[in-house]
Amino acid sequence: MDIALFSPSSLFHDSDDTSSDEERVENSQTYVERNHQFPGMELLIREFSFHQMNANLLWPGTFAFAEWLVQDKSKIEGRRIIELGSGTGALAIFLKKLYQVDITTSDYDDQEIEDNIAHNCKVNGVTPVLPHIKHSWGDPFPNSCPDWDLIIASDILLYVKQYPNLIKTLYFLLKSYKPREIEATSYAQETQSELPRPTFLMSWRRRIGKEEESLFFTGCKTAGLQVQHLGSRIYSITPARPAITDN
């Protein structure tokens, strides 16, 4: 996989980051623990000092997404959620603590990432720890019958060459989705849904060239997915609806 390298300081929330100035370094600089301020709560998050897949730090899209979801919580209430590219697990932990949502984390097939998310769950009082799926985009998905009706992610578009693999995974999760039998009736009775089921909801705040960024959205449309910009750099992606024709 192609690796995007960035200055660590450029990956933090903002230049005026609310993280604590006091950092605890563990295991000879293997990890760093920081306090991060989310809407209504502070989380202690252990981050890798370095990770080749950039799963080590909290990125701007995480905080922006958290704020947006708090302002419009109806988007996630009652949903079964899976987060792609969970990294440290901070966003999923925040949503679990705030709303007690049914959420699963996932990231690159790497045991260190899974173990670190479990650690962050425990130190922030999320027990049992969140279910986690190790999965590299484009590979066969471990769950052949996905029933997550909301897929979320933040700042996952760094690796341009991985867009086809990411789109392949998204297409599978969206197109293969089947609601749980006990939920199918309630879904059918919904008169107004805030988001279609299923939906991929993404926050994107990192800066790359517009041409590179557009490759992802164009690729989604080519694959038969519909892209909608909801504002504040939040995007929803759903299976494209069949065109309505007059008989």
> Which of 58-62, 136-140, 164-168, 214-218 is predicted with the least confidence, judged by mean pLDDT?
58-62
For 121-174, write each residue's pLDDT tens digit.
Answer: 999 999 999 999 999 999 999 999 999 999 999 999 988 999 999 999 999 999
Mean pLDDT of 190-200: 75
Domains of the chain listed by start with CATH number = 59-239 (3.40.50.150)
What is the distance between the alpha carbons of residues 118 and 138, in angstroms, rounded to a whole number? 25
Strands (E), the chain: 24-26, 31-38, 41-48, 80-83, 102-107, 132-134, 150-154, 199-203, 225-231, 234-239
CA distance linking residue 135 with residue 84, whole number of Å:
9
d(CA 173, CA 148): 8
CA–CA gap between residue 88 and residue 28 (Å, rounded) = 19
- Enter the DSSP assignment of 207: -
Global pTM exceeds 0.85: no
The per-residue DSSP string of 15-47 comes to: TT--S-S--EEETTTTEEEEEEEETTEEEEEEE
C-alpha angle with apex 174: 237 to 84, nearest 5 degrees? 75
Q: CB-based contacts of 122: which residues, under 8 Å, 6+ apart? A: 129
pLDDT band with cut points at 50, 70 and 90 for residue 209: confident
70-129: pLDDT as tens digits: 998 888 989 999 999 999 999 999 999 999 999 999 999 989 999 999 999 999 999 999
Q: Rounded mean pLDDT of 2-24?
A: 41
Pair of tokens at residue 13: 């929330």
pLDDT at residue 187 greater than cutoff 80 = no
For residues 7 and 217, what is the distance between their CA atoms, to the nearest angstrom? 26
